[in-house]
């Protein structure tokens, strides 16, 4: 697991680029928003917009942490604020990442209806819902595995 928040953000930017290239076969040309974008992380020419989340802790806790509220600014974030229509929840598996592709609307309903609320994120400033990974798997439209070469490059950090 990458413990440094800056390295996690750098890693997330690289993963977004790799995911964009991977999904271009299905969704058309990709435009990646590297860094912070309140709307979405990846936009495809076929009309699909994607929010990408990497959940390092889910591999050990077996709970996906879905951010929904910023406690400091008292406003919706994550699943409640994204304008994307697709959510990719990526969880470490083996030496790579297993990415679950979900409908934002379907995941949003599940987060509202179920799960346990905890504080988390950087400086515990976010409200998160913990959803069992098995539930994420059952909600997913599909999933794919990202090769371990990306992960191996960052494990040495």
pLDDT, tens only, 136-148: 999 999 999 998 7
Q: Which two tokens stand for residue 15?
A: 């993963």
Q: What residue segments make up the domains of the chain, in order of their start?
A: 5-155
pLDDT range class, residue 79, cuts 50, 70, 90: very high
Q: What is the pLDDT of residues 1-43, one digit of tens each?
A: 566 777 777 888 888 988 998 899 999 999 998 765 668 999 9
**pTM recorded for the entire structure:** 0.88
- Dihedral (CA of 7, 66, 40, 74) sign: negative
Distances, alpha carbon 146 to alpha carbons 74, 77, 137, in Å: 35, 26, 16
How far is CA 48 from each of CA 18, 42, 66, 83, 103, rounded to the nearest angstrom?
Answer: 16, 8, 21, 11, 11
**118 pLDDT higher than 70:** yes
Tokens representing residue 23 in the block: 């999904």
DSSP string of 24-88, one letter each residue: HHHH-SEEE--S--SS-SEEETTS-EEEEEE-STHHHHSEEEEEEEETTTTEE-GGGT---SEEE
Burial class of residue 146 (count of CB atoms within 10 Å of its CB; 0-12, 13-18, 19+):
middle
Instruction: Provide the percentage of residues in the chain whose pLDDT is more than 90.
Output: 69
pLDDT at 106 over 80: yes
* CATH no. of 5-155: 3.40.1350
């Amino acid at each position: 697991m990458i413990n440094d928040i800056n390295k996690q953000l750098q890693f997330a930017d690289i993963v977004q680029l790799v995911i964009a290239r991977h999904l271009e076969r299905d969704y058309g040309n990709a435009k990646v928003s590297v860094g912070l974008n309140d709307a979405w992380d990846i936009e495809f020419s076929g009309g699909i917009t994607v929010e990408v989340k990497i959940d390092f802790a889910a591999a050990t806790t077996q709970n996906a942490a879905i951010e929904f509220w910023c406690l400091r600014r008292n406003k919706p974030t994550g699943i409640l604020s994204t304008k994307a229509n697709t959510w990719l929840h990526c969880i470490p598996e083996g030496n790579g990442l297993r990415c679950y592709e979900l409908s934002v609307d379907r995941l949003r309903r599940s987060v509202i209806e179920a799960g346990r609320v905890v504080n988390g994120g950087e400086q515990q400033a976010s409200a998160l819902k913990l959803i069992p990974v098995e539930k994420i798997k059952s909600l997913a439209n599909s999933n794919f595995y990202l090769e371990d070469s990306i992960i191996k490059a960052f494990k040495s950090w």
